[in-house]
Chains A and B, each alone.
Chain A
Amino acid sequence: MEISTLKTGSSVAEPREVAVDIQSLNKWYGTFHVLKDIDLRIHVGQQVVVCGPSGSGKSTLIRCVNQLERHQDGQIFIYGQEVGAVAKRLHELRRDVGMVFQHFNLFPHITVLQNCTLAMRRARSIPRREAEDIARHYLERVRIPEQVHKFPSQLSGGQQQRVAIARALCMKPKVMLFDEPTSALDPEMINEVLDVMIELARDGMTMMCVTHEMGFARKVADSIVFMDGGRIVESAPPSEFFTNPQNERTRAFLRQIL
């Protein structure tokens, strides 16, 4: 626990544990400098939205948090544990960090229910019955109760993404990462996924979310981070971010998408 001046600008007064702490993070692809001196802190129960033009490094940043991408410099802590330092036990750390992908990435060869129970059974050693009960609970929460024995390909994109969210929730993660969760969806399916995410946020889930859904950001984000050229150029609560952006590039971006 720490009593902090919240970097993210949220005016929460009580001390809160830091869930994700990114400190002077740098990453290169070969000679290309993708992430430049990123500092970002997400407290428990906070929701942070990361936005920015494509190629700005936002997906790379979120993928560094659970080390799907390795960084070369700087540190990332999840609940005080440094992620880069524990290569051997990385899989244990990842169990506490749920991730939802742009393209859902459900396992196509097993049913919806098995998608949800696989990690619980293999990584958390939860017996089958119990795992299935937990899975059904979360599938109900994301409103996929009737289709647990279907295969992912038999569901719509929106349904698949909601299953993916349930699959992540089944592990009872301490943080949820969303990497453009609605970008691959048909427009009429975006809201059913966003509604689930809004509920999650209301329930106090700690979330880091790369998205261009500004309506969602306005509704739930404690803080919106704008990235450009591998840097965080602006970080502010939605009220300030939308009405009084400080950076010219942020203003240009907002003009484009709003």
Chain B
Amino acid sequence: MNFNLDFAIASLPIILSALGTTIWVTIVSCLGAALLGFTFEILRRSSRVMSYVMRFLIDFIRSTPVLVQLYFLYFVLPFYGVTLPSYVVGILGLSLYYSGYLAEVFKAGIDGIPSGQFEAAHALGLRRLDIVIFVIAPQMLRNIAAPMGNYFVSILKATPYLAIIAVPEMLGQAMEIASDTFRYAEPMLTVGVIFLVLAVSIAQLVRLMETRLLKSAKR
């Protein structure tokens, strides 16, 4: 099979029509995973019992394949009367799966904050939630911008999984072209290049954020 540049260019608009879906599913999943992961980590630190519960939950999430989780949410939950649209399942699945990893990243980020910061915040009489939001979170983000960015790129690259539960993202569109025309090289390569561009953009964005955060305060 010869690579046909014209065919690749012709398939571009169809694949790009799904670019928006890929991007917004990625963004919402990143936010969801970060919020969930941060909540898990804060809960894990709240009490001894919670530390065991969250430890188990995080390990469970991280130790099962993302596809299994997606299939479970998509095919098993309806038997129990919970039928969710494929978008929701996709975002929920990616958020949940990556929240386990991000919780670990956040843990390292919080461990890296000197204990004096917590003491000063407590000594001032701040409430726990205020300490988390105004003292812990911003310093944690500074510590972990790079590894967190890596997971955001991973989330982007995991969106093709959602093709199997009928979320119309880019790989799904490419597969449709391929199965209609029996030409795989062009649509797959096109999809690959677009993902490459997106991933590099996220990495650049994160690097920019990191330098800004570091510039604001060194310690």
Contacts and interface: CB of A to CB of B under 8 A. Distances in A.
Given A107-B135, A109-B142, A122 B119 contact: no
B124 interface: yes
B197 interface: no
B219 A108 contact: yes
Interface in A16-71: 66, 68
Contact of B134 (A91, A122, A164): A122
Interface in A85-127: 91-99, 101, 103, 105-110, 118-119, 122-123
A171 interface: yes
Contacts of A167: 124
Given A109-B138, A109-B139, A123 B125 contact: yes
B120 A105 contact: yes
A110 B120 CA distance: 14
A6 B93 CA distance: 67
Given A105-B116, A152-B217, A119 B122 contact: no
A95 B125 contact: yes
Interface in B100-118: 114, 116-117
Given A105-B119, A108-B139, A123 B219 contact: no
A107 to B, nearest CB: 6
A119 B126 contact: yes
A114 to B, nearest CB: 9
B110 to A, nearest CB: 14
A4 interface: no
B59 interface: no
Contacts of B218: 108, 153
Interface string B140-168: 00100000000000000000000000000
B123 interface: yes
Nearest to A96: B125
Contact of B124 (A93, A95, A108, A152): A95
A68 B134 CA distance: 20
A94 B124 contact: yes
Contacts of A93: 125
Given A91-B127, A119-B126, A122-B134, A107 B120 contact: yes
A242 interface: no
B117 A105 contact: yes
A94 B122 CA distance: 8
Interface in A205-258: none
Given A122-B130, A122-B134, A151-B216, A107 B117 contact: yes
Given A101-B119, A109-B138, A122 B126 contact: yes
19 contacts: A68-B119, A68-B123, A91-B125, A97-B123, A98-B123, A101-B123, A107-B120, A107-B121, A107-B135, A108-B218, A109-B217, A118-B124, A118-B126, A119-B126, A122-B130, A151-B216, A153-B217, A153-B219, A167-B124
Given A91-B126, A109-B216, A167-B124, 7 more contacts: A68-B122, A99-B120, A103-B116, A107-B120, A109-B217, A118-B135, A153-B217
Please list the 7 inter-chain residue pairs (A to B) with the smallest Cβ-Cβ separation, ordered nearest first: A95-B125, A105-B120, A105-B116, A119-B124, A94-B125, A99-B123, A108-B219
Interface of A: 66, 68, 91-99, 101, 103, 105-110, 118-119, 122-123, 151-153, 164, 167-168, 171
Interface of B: 114, 116-117, 119-128, 130, 134-135, 138-139, 142, 216-219
